Amino acid sequence: MRFSELSTYLEKLEKTSSRLEITRILTELFKETKPDEIDKVVYLSLGVLAPNYEGVLLNLAEKMVLRTFAIAYSQDSQIIEKLYKKEGDVGNVAEILSSDLGKIKSELTVTQVYEKLLEIAKDNGEGSVERKIEKMAEILKNLDSLSSRFVARIPVGKLRLGFSEKTIIDALAGHDAKIQEEIESAYNIRPDIGYIARLVKENKLKSAKPEIGVPVVPVLCQRLNSVTEMIKKMGEVSVEPKFDGLRIFIHFRRKDNFIRIFTRNMNAIPLETFPELLNVGMFIKADEAILDSEAVGLDEKRQMFLDFQKTIQRRRKHEITKNAEEIPLQFQVFDVLLVDGINLINEPYTKRREELKKVVVSGSLLRVDENTITKDPEEIRKMHQKYLKMGLEGVVVKKADGLYSSGRTGWNWVKMKEEEGQRGRLPDTIDAVVMGYFLGKGKRTQFGLGKILVGIKDGDKFRTLTKVGTGLTEEMLVVIRKRLDKLVAHEKPKGYEAQKDLIPDVWAHPSLIVELSADSISVSTKHSLGLSLRFPRFIRIREDKNADQATTLGELKEIFKLQKTSS
């Protein structure tokens, strides 16, 4: 497929906000795409070159991309700057400049453009910036004007056509619910949408299995505060402590001492961040394994666990050695997904626990969580109280015969963080996406930020939930403003829904996640979500989550129901 053909589809996608129409266009595109190029088509339609966990980035800022235009289109840099200030979009600038040169019939294929972009991404070291600019200019020079619009946007991460991997899966399934379920299951095991698209085209979906070095979409907890309801929905359960730590997946292969660690949002973390794991092979009785764990900071003097905010400091890039000495970690291991090539994802939880105890040498570094198997609601309540008194977050209750079902599907894992019947606040916190901010009044004008506008993801849409100012310290106002300066959107991002009286002074692309508490959830006509928070309070930034892992509308409604039953 020529890239110019792909561009016509991308233009159609850009012009519509209808989820159904976007899915239809993508379905048509994928039918026209051959198996050996569909992975590239999928990546490029999302504006990426590889799954996020691989960290393949072009590393060309907007100023650098504008420099490529001067070379590609033999144009004066001042004219380019002036045009960019007017358009506010590098893609539009590239299209205009390309059009001024006359029509070019581009023969470059999707695969050729993809491979050239990948070559730029992999070019590092001394002099790489200038080489990247020259290579990018060479690509643009040989593209038609419409193709230039989309290719120019990819390096700055602003292709954003209003859909995600979820829509790609819908389109690959062609409205067949059974096929969609199979694709989702394969994607949860191998969250590489390009790879999965190729398996679909080749009819090899069933071959998907966990692989060392590739993250798995984690199981996430649902919420229930009634222990009776837990037993009713789940039957026999395993009751375990809920730690306030950092979710960590440990991938280990002995033959080449391969160790790779991922967070819950499937981002790889440099091993030097957690130097304790350099010798993790001493604590694993297998040649290869994938372990699911919670990294918890330890206060050795007081012999207690540290809270999340303290533990998360271990991810800072600076002062790693100092932080490692001040905040030693213990990895509470609670699941195993792969052992010596054997896929355990579809095995019952109790069987995985048995395998886990065989594989992990439980001690100071790795520790297998204690658990209690029961069908007695009173036993869950008793364990919950026990762990709360220990300073933990209560219990996690897991279906004894449940499979490792990624996401929040079914009633496999349930968390119960608050005491039953607790009044005066929500039974759980909310992880919301920062959609923009207001400049503030009075004292807060000096920080350039008064309140943040947050929202919840509903499918591929982001709808407003509330404005938040309470709980934001002066230090946090500075931190958040700096973070949002890197996410500024010059106009309302595609997929955002907000009513006229809730338009922030500055829009932000959906990347920063914040955890909020509130007294209650209320029905709202003011917010596009239809729900809002009463007396919302900022708790912390969730460094370990991305927009796809924030609270969804479905989960918010669950909390709304829990609020009613506990009031």
Going by C-alpha positions, the residue among 411, 409, 410, 415 that lies closest to residue 396 is 415
C-alpha gyration radius of the chain: 25
* Residue 226, CA distances (Å) to 131, 384, 526 in order: 61, 12, 32
User: Which pair of tokens denotes residue 69?
Assistant: 């235009």
Instruction: Give the pairing of strands 430-438 and 451-458.
Output: antiparallel
Q: Give the residue carrying structure tokens 């001067």.
A: 70
CB 447, CB 477: distance < 8 Å? yes
- Whether the CB-CB separation of 125 and 52 falls below 8 Å is answered with no
**Largest Cα span, the chain:** 77
- Over the range 384-421, which residues count as b (16 or more CB within 10 Å of their CB) and which as e? beebbeeebbbbbbbbbebbbbbbbeebbbbbbbbeee
Q: Among 385, 344, 362, 358, which Cα is nearest to 242's? A: 385
Q: Report which of 418, 421, 430, 365 is spatially closest to residue 387, judged by C-alpha positions.
A: 418
Of all helices (H) and strands (E), which one includes residue 145?
Answer: helix 145-153
The DSSP code sequence of 538-552 is EEEE-TT--GGGSPB
Report the distance separating Cα 87 and Cα 75, nearest Å. Answer: 17
The DSSP output letter for 413 is E
What's the DSSP call for residue 492? Answer: P
Question: Could you tell me which of 482, 486, 480 has the C-alpha nearest to residue 468?
Answer: 480
Active site residues: 242
CA distances from 351 to 329, 336, 402, 403 (A): 27, 10, 10, 10
**Which of 376, 513, 378, 375 is closest to 434 using CA atoms?**
513
User: What's the rounded Cα separation, in Å, for the pair 274 and 277?
Assistant: 6
Q: How far apart are alpha carbons 127 and 45 in whole angstroms?
A: 30
Residue with tokens 């819908």: 170
Cα–Cα distance for residue pair 197/73, rounded to 1 Å: 36
Which residues sit opposite 292 in a β-bridge? Answer: 249, 335
Q: Where do the H-state alpha helices sit in 33-144?
A: 38-45, 62-72, 77-87, 90-100, 110-122, 128-141
> Can you spell out the DSSP letters for 382-396?
HHHHHHHHTTS--EE
Report the C-alpha gap between 514 and 435 in whole angstroms. 11
Q: Which of 330, 283, 290 is nearest to 311 (CA)?
A: 330
